[in-house]
Amino acid sequence: MIAPRHMHLYGTTSEQLAEVAVTMRRHASLNPEALFRDPITVEDVMRSPVVSTPLHRNDCCVITDGGGAVVVASPELARNCKQKPVWILGAGEAVAHQGAGKRDLMYIAAKQSHAPAFEMAGVTQKDIDMAMIYDSFTITVIETLEDLGFCEKGEGGQYVLNGRIGLGGDMPINTDGGGLSSNHPGMRGLFLLLEATRQLRGQFEGTERQVPDCKIALCHGTGGALGSRHSGGTVILAKD
């Protein structure tokens, strides 16, 4: 329901949705662990089978096995670890659409969760060097970018064009290929933290995958159905 509603209200197009999928696949091509690495075009996305109008197969995340882990420690312990620590600057969480009544489908939990995270971190959207955003569908990315405050409501479709969310762009997102091309084992959120941590540590230095001079990263995860009761969590991380 969210995708057609967004299109109706703001003129968002299937081509704009497809651009998200194309960018994620381009990032996945740089990740040897990604499930799908072959390049695709906007036309490829548009020609893939329709799953639920207006979403095509390539607008939808993959389904994979997978697992990961993070270690959270006090500052004193973190400084003595083998790897460079990455610091949690701020965090926020929210549950949206808690009631059973009328819901505004154009706003999701990210609208509520991002404000306390940014306030705690003492930074703004302009300070973020890269973002890891839960991408169950291409429309999820567009609506999340809007509600995180990277662009105004209704401008997400335009925001993702012209390489802005790709490596080398103003706001690279999901540099591992995202759930749309890399992996989605059911708990995709952990992989957001893993990729952001690696970027902040400069672990891809000397390769196309590295975000240059990456100092501050944002991760946002979503759980549940966006059109009904669901949760969102925003975390802002920084390098040592």
Pairing of strands 86-96, 230-239: antiparallel
> Within its chain, how far is the Cα of 194 from the centroid?
13
Reduced to 3 states, what is the DSSP secondary structure of residue 94? strand
Distance in angstroms (rounded) separating the CA atoms of residues 106 and 197: 30
Count the Cβ atoms, other than its own, within 10 Å of residue 73: 11
How many angstroms separate the Cα of 5 from the Cα of each of 2, 15, 28, 154?
A: 5, 16, 29, 11
How many angstroms separate the Cα of 154 from the Cα of each of 31, 49, 145, 146?
A: 31, 26, 10, 7
What is the homologous superfamily of the domain 2-239 according to CATH? Thiolase/Chalcone synthase (3.40.47.10)
Give, as one character, the DSSP assignment of residue 84.
Answer: P
Closest CA to 157 of 4, 19, 1, 2: 19
The residues spanned by each domain of the chain are: 2-239
Q: What percent helix, strand, coil does the chain show, rounded to 5?
A: 35, 20, 50
Tokens describing residue 157: 């479709």
Where do we find the tokens 């105004």?
152
Q: Which residues of 165-181 are buried (b: 16+ CB within 10 A; e: fewer)?
A: bbbeeebbbbbbbbbbb
89, 121 contact by CB (below 8 A): yes
Closest CA to 70 of 57, 61, 81: 81
Closest CA to 147 of 183, 119, 110, 177: 110
pLDDT at 101: 59
Where do we find the tokens 């072959």?
38
Q: H helices of the chain, where?
A: 2-10, 14-28, 42-47, 75-78, 110-121, 138-147, 156-159, 178-181, 189-201
Give the mean pLDDT per block of 10 residues along the chain (240 residues): 95 98 99 98 98 98 94 94 94 84 81 98 99 98 98 98 98 99 94 98 98 99 81 96
